[in-house]
């Protein structure tokens, strides 16, 4: 069933929901604030209240998921369970495929709308630091980094946790990523660092599995060499986007190996070459997605 759920999820996101960004995640902000607000009213000391509030945010959705999964079990020969799992996966996954994200950005890029590129990075990919429209090379580098990590976070990570832990694993990942975004925007660095640590632990194995996939569908020699150097690295800050972007550059054999173009911000930098880099990254992610889909199918057959 895991293979069918992921397959249907990909079909739905690539066809019916291809022009939809995502389901409204605004409910999560209200939910987590309400849960943490309830705990904040207790007489416990502040560190305990903060930790307990975060745990309640996780437990509330996990308990609901387990209850719904139990109620749906066996109904209509498993079709209700499959529909429930698909709905949960669609909520957690990104509804815009990497190809569409790249196409949208490239449309703005080829039109010369650099301000539109900056707005797109801010609105769709949550750019951390502001960029100037004149920084063309930086715009492309940041887009590639955020595109690679967004694809990992919203697709490859969800695939892995769904295969390993079912819908509960997907819910834990979704809550973690949403909480990190909420806490970072609220400036709560202490709690955000705790969530970052949880995410870093969850991402360690899937991130290296994706890097291994890059080796298989890209430049094996350069990517594997870089992966071997950084394989045991653990980022306590939970920021793996730069690490993943480096492996993607190696897999695409950009800039003579793993380093970004030093002249990317100069006027002499070839804009068509930078657009080609985005298209190459899109192809790398789509090939990797196909490899993971086949792998899930094989795992499902073996463990069935």
Asked whether the beta carbons of 223 and 212 are under 8 A apart, the reply is no
Stretch 105-115: mean pLDDT = 87
Neighbours of 43 (CB within 10 A): 5
Residue 19 pLDDT class (50, 70, 90 cuts)? low
The residue ranking higher by pLDDT, 45 or 288, is 288
Stretch 92-116: mean pLDDT = 82
CA–CA separation, 249 and 257 (whole Å): 7
pLDDT digits (tens, 9 = 90+) for 138-192: 888 899 999 999 999 988 999 899 988 889 999 999 999 999 888 887 777 788 8
Decide if pLDDT at 7 tops 50.
yes
The residue ranking higher by pLDDT, 213 or 185, is 213
Stretch 35-43: mean pLDDT = 86
CA–CA separation, 151 and 156 (whole Å): 7
Residue 259 pLDDT class (50, 70, 90 cuts)? very low
* Residue-range domain boundaries for the chain: 2-303
Decide if pLDDT at 200 tops 50.
yes
Q: CA of 7: how far to CAs of 79, 89, 150, 295, in Å? A: 15, 11, 19, 12
The residue ranges of DSSP E strands in the chain, in sequence order, are: none
- pTM, entire model: 0.85
CA–CA separation, 232 and 183 (whole Å): 28
Q: Is the dihedral of CA 115, 119, 120, 122 positive or negative?
A: positive
């Amino acid at each position: 069933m895991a293979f069918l759920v992921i397959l249907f999820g990909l079909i739905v996101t690539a066809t019916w929901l291809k022009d939809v960004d995502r389901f409204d995640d605004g409910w999560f902000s209200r939910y987590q604030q309400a849960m943490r607000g309830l705990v904040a009213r207790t007489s416990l000391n502040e560190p305990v209240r903060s930790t307990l509030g975060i745990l309640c945010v996780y437990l509330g959705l996990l308990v609901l998921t387990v209850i719904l999964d139990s109620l749906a079990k066996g109904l209509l020969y498993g079709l209700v369970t499959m529909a429930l799992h698909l709905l949960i996966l669609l909520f957690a996954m990104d509804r815009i495929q990497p190809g569409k994200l790249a196409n949208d950005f490239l449309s703005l890029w080829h039109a010369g709308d650099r301000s539109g590129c900056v707005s797109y990075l801010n609105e769709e990919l949550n750019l951390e630091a502001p960029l100037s429209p004149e920084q063309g090379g930086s715009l492309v580098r940041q887009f590639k980094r955020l595109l690679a990590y967004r694809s990992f976070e919203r697709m490859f990570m969800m695939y892995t946790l769904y295969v390993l832990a079912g819908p509960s694993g997907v819910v834990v990942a979704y809550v973690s990523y949403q909480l990190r975004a909420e806490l970072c925007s609220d400036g709560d660095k202490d709690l955000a660092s705790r969530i970052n640590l949880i995410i870093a632990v969850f991402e360690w194995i899937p991130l290296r599995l994706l890097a291994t996939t890059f080796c298989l569908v890209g430049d094996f020699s350069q990517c594997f060499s870089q992966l071997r150097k950084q394989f045991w690295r653990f980022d306590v800050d939970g920021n793996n986007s730069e690490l993943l972007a480096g492996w993607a550059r190696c897999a695409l054999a950009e800039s003579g190996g793993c380093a970004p173009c030093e002249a990317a911000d100069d006027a002499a930098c070839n804009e068509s070459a930078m657009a080609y880099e985005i298209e190459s990254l899109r192809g790398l992610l789509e090939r990797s997605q196909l490899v993971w889909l086949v792998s899930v199918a094989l795992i499902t057959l073996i463990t069935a």
